[in-house]
A and B are shown apart, each in its own frame.
Chain A
């Protein structure tokens, strides 16, 4: 589904991603872990099409198509979803209207029927149950005045509405208490299917106990230093990141 080859990217002239290779197939769950500042969010934003990042080399194919020939919105309509580490507040636009708009833009792109406000109301009330959101959050302005946890809940609600093929979730657990993490983790699990894939970005392993990846990659200094099965997450929880860095340094010296 997603094929990343030797991807390099920089921001304001500073290289951040220094040669990333990653293959994600349908049905898979991958986790990218790594210390703060290692380039995890950058990878997510480059994949989602943030205009501030400059792709300086390499290639990314999404379902065989060159991702870098699509603008951010085209990528979204093609089925890529990014759950943000810091979701943006948009005053004056109600959450429900925004969700309906996003849903209908995607439906239009896929040649499906758009939903009118009444139909959407039914639809969205089914979805908010999945993320245990109270319906008054639908009438409030998009993310405005939401707590960190409420914003994350809203990100997963958007994911449930848009049903992406590939969801990239950046630090879903930050700002969430353990109960909310359980609810949202379970919601993400229910959305996962054989024709969808997940890329979980996190520097805390605890979320990976709920959303269990088949593959764990350690990113540091803009490179993937180690890739392994889900047992790597446990090892990182026990031993931290330093040993991976040391191992990689030794490997590099060899």
Chain B
């Protein structure tokens, strides 16, 4: 399947302005890694996220493996999935018909020229050593290209599955490019078993007027470490709408960075459901580089047990970004005395005609809300569970893929003990 449009697209991409040659990027990342140790809690950026447990484990290389993916299929996307197992593209589990005509899906292991498209987004303001680790070590991944004005009808499902019999490290790598006016819905899911470190890096380039809806579901194993990087550049009038839903991993960190050009729009929502000793950290960076862009962030955490949630939301409005509209909300629900939340908005505004708002709340359920539900006949436990469910499900309401929305609602229901209330999904 070679489409003239798509081949041109790739060559256009490769001939575009590049920060450096690909091999050089890889060497530079390797060199930076050689110069620095793992971050510690004395680094301001890692103050609350202790990587000691990670440092104590030796992670081997990730072998190729086969998996049964029958439990992960979503009806809207049975024909549009691409599966990666232990970081390697798994054609046996993927769908040959996965890609709509004209859309290019290029696994990096078989289409190595596509590697030269990587590293084009950025440099970012919140670079993580785990991004370097990915750049230096990844063996596979994919570049996804949607040509001009193509509105892809079916959502595309990318499934990253890790199967670790002994501790392994995987480095999923993804680049998504939407040409001018293209539209796509992308579902990125991470699942796994065993002890592993996964450091996915996702780069996104949206050309003028392109629209990407990006649902990101992190359901890694309870022993996993997930240290992810997301970098998105949105050109004039483009829209990037993403939602990151974190359920698994003993320790996870998401570092999204988004740069908005004139009139671009971004949604960067998040939900983390934490229990036991889980740690989930989000360090986001929203760059309003040009005028009249708008961004919206709603980050919610439900923290139980002695789990810990960290949110650091930076918003930078450049001097010329007049007419910026930026909203950020961090809402945290504490379900136990020993749960902990550290949340910090960081707004740096250098333009004067802007609308920026932020808010953070940390607390238990609202007694007035509980009373309202009890006054309708729900007992105290049911009222608590329903409110907890609603707090989380709020983030799921606008997921466009119905089966995914339903699956996640059921997952949230199970995790918030709301299942006893019957089917809400």
Contact = CB atoms under 8 A, between A and B. Distances in A.
B132 to A, nearest CB: 38
A141 B383 CA distance: 15
Contacts of A105: 376-378, 382
B425 to A, nearest CB: 9
A93 to B, nearest CB: 4
A101 interface: yes
B377 A76 contact: yes
B373 A49 contact: no
Interface stretch (B155-163, B173-181, B199-207, B416-424): B416-424
A90 interface: yes
Contacts of A72: 371, 374-375
Contacts of B390: 90-93, 141-142
B393 A50 contact: no
B367 A104 contact: no
Given A92-B389, A92-B397, A76 B424 contact: no
Contact of B371 (A50, A91, A93, A97): A50
B372 A87 contact: yes
A162 interface: yes
Nearest to A45: B371
A102 B376 contact: yes
Interface residues of A, number: 35
Contacts of B44: none
Given A88-B369, A93-B390, A73 B424 contact: no
B385 to A, nearest CB: 11
B392 interface: yes
Nearest to B392: A92
Contacts of B393: 92-93
Contacts, number: 90
B330 to A, nearest CB: 15
Contacts of B43: none
A93 B386 contact: yes
Nearest to B379: A73
A73 B369 contact: no
B423 A73 contact: no
A172 to B, nearest CB: 16
Contacts of A97: 424
Contact of B421 (A71, A88, A101): A101
A215 B383 CA distance: 35
B368 interface: yes
A106 interface: yes
A62 B422 CA distance: 31
B372 A77 contact: no
A209 to B, nearest CB: 28
A84 interface: yes
A92 B371 contact: no
B31 interface: no
Interface string B357-399: 0000000001111011111111110110011011111111100
A141 B375 contact: no
Contacts of B375: 48-49, 72-73, 75-76, 81-82, 84
Interface residues of B, number: 31
B325 to A, nearest CB: 19
A81 B392 CA distance: 28
- Of B368, B374, B394, the most chain A CB neighbours within 10 A belong to B374
Contacts of A158: 376
A162 B376 contact: yes
A51 interface: yes
Contacts of B392: 92
Interface string A106-147: 100100000001000000000000000000000001100000
A158 B390 CA distance: 19
A71 B389 contact: no
A227 interface: no
Interface string A28-56: 00000000000000000000111110000
Contact of A77 (B377, B395, B422): B377
Contacts of A100: 422
A73 B378 contact: yes
Contacts of A52: 367
B372 A73 contact: no
A49 B377 contact: no
B367 A51 contact: yes
Interface string B389-413: 1111111110000000000000000
A142 B397 CA distance: 13
A98 B377 CA distance: 11
A55 to B, nearest CB: 15
A10 interface: no
B422 A104 contact: yes
A204 to B, nearest CB: 24
B242 to A, nearest CB: 19
A71 B369 CA distance: 15
A174 interface: no
B165 to A, nearest CB: 39
Contacts of B423: 117
Contacts of A3: none
B378 A101 contact: yes
Contacts of A82: 375
Given A90-B390, A93-B386, A101-B422, A84 B372 contact: yes
B377 A162 contact: yes
Interface in B167-213: none
A94 interface: yes
23 contacts: A49-B375, A50-B371, A51-B367, A71-B380, A72-B371, A72-B374, A73-B380, A77-B377, A81-B375, A82-B375, A84-B372, A84-B375, A88-B366, A88-B369, A88-B372, A92-B393, A92-B394, A93-B390, A102-B377, A104-B422, A105-B376, A106-B377, A158-B376
Given A92-B394, A93-B389, A162-B376, 15 more contacts: A73-B375, A73-B378, A75-B375, A77-B377, A82-B375, A91-B390, A92-B391, A93-B424, A97-B424, A98-B386, A101-B378, A101-B421, A102-B378, A104-B422, A105-B376
